[in-house]
């Protein structure tokens, strides 16, 4: 396509937006509302995903070594654990360290356990992390069968429920976002269809003078692009401002907890780019579907 022809298509698409002011407003409003909801859901889901990832990374297997095991037995056991498929790291924690951690975690109540420093009843422990957190249960079952393993603890029952909840949450969020995007495409497609029907005579004249199908389609293609981009402007502004204040407020509340929100920068800029791309994509898609189904060229 020649540059002059492309510039002509761009001008025609902008003129069409102006001539069909109310329909343009309706399309942009549809995209705005949809992308606003998508943006809010996206912020929530991405932060929930970060929290879920943090929780998954904290899941570990604690392998309690049999008290009858000597240093050589412990070394052999560590080598066997390392050979289990899916292991990311294995860290040895002697029973003295385990007692210190117990006393520290209990605070003032833990002072009573200092009496056990001379005769420590705890086990030495191997702290195992898996490459994929969802493999925790499978790896734990394999380690449990090894010699000189007293017990294996990884939050059995609760871990499975946690992973199922995280999986369901992610899937529900994805379905909601996809559903909202298809809703926007449908609304834009129908709005542009009305525009095309209103310009049916103009299109017929263009065909009579020899305009090709592509020449006729291009202005509608660009029109859908502008509608999508314009519809993304307000959601970006609203979501960015809301997240700025929410980030400062919630971070102050959660500073003593393990839960951390995604940092404002670069998350908001990435989100803005995603919303613009989504707006442009659903605008173009809605336009193309409308032209394809209702424009007889």
Q: What is the mean pLDDT of residues 112-140?
A: 74
- Give the model's pLDDT for residue 30: 76
Question: Per residue in 194-234, pLDDT tens?
Answer: 666 666 676 677 777 777 767 777 777 787 788 888 888 88
| Mean of per-residue pLDDT scores for the chain | 77
Question: Per residue in 11-66, pLDDT tens?
Answer: 766 677 677 677 777 777 877 887 888 888 888 888 887 777 777 777 888 888 88
pLDDT band at 290 (very low <50, low <70, confident <90, very high): low
- Give the model's pLDDT for residue 188: 64
- Give the model's pLDDT for residue 104: 66
* Cβ neighbourhood burial of 229 (10 Å; 0-12, 13-18, 19+): middle
Please give the share of the chain, as a percent, with pLDDT higher than 70: 76
- Give the model's pLDDT for residue 110: 46
* Best CATH choice for the domain 60-153 from the list 3.30.1280.10, 3.30.390.50, 3.50.50.60, 3.30.70.3040: 3.30.70.3040
pTM equals: 0.66
Give exposure, 36-64, as e/b (b: 16+ Cβ within 10 Å).
bbbbebbbebbbeeebbeebbeebbbbbb
What is the DSSP code string of 234-279? HHHHHHHHHHHHHHHHHHHHSTTSS--PPPHHHHHHHHHHHHHHHH
pLDDT at 267 over 80: yes
**Domain residues of the chain, as ranges?**
3-55+161-294, 60-153
- Give the model's pLDDT for residue 162: 75
Q: What is the mean pLDDT of residues 238-252?
A: 84
- Give the model's pLDDT for residue 266: 85
Could you tell me which residue, 112 or 215, shows the higher pLDDT?
Answer: 215
């Amino acid at each position: 396509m020649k540059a002059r022809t492309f510039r002509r298509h761009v001008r025609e698409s902008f003129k069409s937006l102006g001539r069909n002011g109310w329909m343009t407003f309706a399309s942009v409003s549809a995209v705005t509302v949809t992308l606003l909801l998508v943006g809010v859901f996206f912020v929530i889901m991405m932060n929930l995903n970060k929290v879920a990832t943090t929780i998954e990374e904290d899941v570990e297997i604690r392998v309690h070594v049999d008290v009858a095991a000597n240093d050589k037995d412990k070394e052999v056991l560590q080598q066997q654990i390392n050979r289990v498929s899916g292991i990311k790291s294995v860290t040895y924690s002697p029973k003295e360290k385990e007692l210190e951690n117990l006393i520290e975690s209990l605070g003032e109540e833990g002072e009573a356990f200092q009496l056990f420093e001379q005769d420590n009843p705890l086990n030495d422990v191997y702290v195992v992390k898996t490459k994929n957190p969802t493999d925790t249960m499978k790896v734990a079952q394999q380690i449990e069968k090894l010699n000189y393993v007293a017990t294996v603890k990884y939050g059995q029952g609760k871990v499975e429920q946690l992973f199922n909840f995280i999986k369901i949450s992610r899937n529900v969020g994805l379905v909601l976002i996809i559903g909202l995007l298809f809703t926007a495409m449908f609304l834009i497609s129908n709005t542009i269809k009305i525009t095309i029907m209103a310009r049916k005579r103009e299109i017929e004249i263009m065909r009579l003078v020899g305009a090709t199908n592509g020449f006729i389609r291009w202005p509608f293609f660009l029109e859908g692009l502008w509608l999508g981009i314009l519809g993304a402007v307000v959601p970006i502004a609203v979501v960015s401002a809301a997240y700025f204040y929410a980030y400062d407020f919630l971070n102050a509340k959660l500073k003593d907890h393990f839960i951390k929100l995604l940092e404002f920068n670069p998350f908001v800029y990435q989100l803005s780019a995603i919303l613009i791309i989504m707006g442009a994509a659903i605008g173009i898609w809605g336009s193309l579907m409308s032209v394809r189904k209702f424009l007889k060229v």
